Amino acid sequence: MTLRTSNQLFDAYFSAESMAEVFCDQGRLQGMLDFEAALARAEAQVGLIPQAAVAPIAQACLASLYDVDALGVAIASAGNSAIPLVKALGKWVAGEDPSAERYVHLGATSQDVMDTGLVLQLRRALALIEADLARLGDILAAQAQRYAAVPLAGRTWLQHATPVTLGMKIAGWLGAVTRSRQRLIELKPRLLVLQFGGASGTLAALGEQAMPVAQALAAQLQLTLPEQPWHTQRDRLVEFASVLGLIAGSLGKLGRDISLLMQTEAAEVFEPAAPGKGGSSTMPHKRNPVGAAVLISAATRVPGLVATLFSAMPQEHERSLGLWHAEWETLPEICRLVSGALQQALLVSAGLEVDPERMARNLDLTQGLVLAEAVSIVLAQRLGRDTAHHLLEQCCKRAVAEQRHLRAVLADEPLITAELSATDLDRLLDPAHYLGQAQTWVSRAVTEHFALTA
Short-list 378, 389, 369, CA closest to 429? 369
Residues in CB range of 372: below 8 A, 6 or more apart:
392, 395, 396, 406
Examine the residue annotation and report whether 280 is marked as an active-site residue of this protein: yes
Given the residues 319, 398, 404, 427, select the one marked as catalytic. 319
Angle formed by the axes of helices 166-191 and 438-453, to 10°? 30
Given the residues 99, 190, 200, 280, select the one marked as catalytic. 280
One-letter amino acid of 324: W
Short-list 123, 26, 104, 106, CA closest to 59? 104
The CA–CA distances, whole Å, from 14 to 194, 298, 380 equal: 30, 8, 53
Examine the residue annotation and report whether 443 is marked as an active-site residue of this protein: no
Tell me how far apart the alpha carbons of residues 448 and 174 are, in angstroms, rounded to a whole number: 9
For residue 208, count other CB atoms closer than 10 A to its CB.
6
Q: Which residues are annotated as catalytic? A: 280, 319
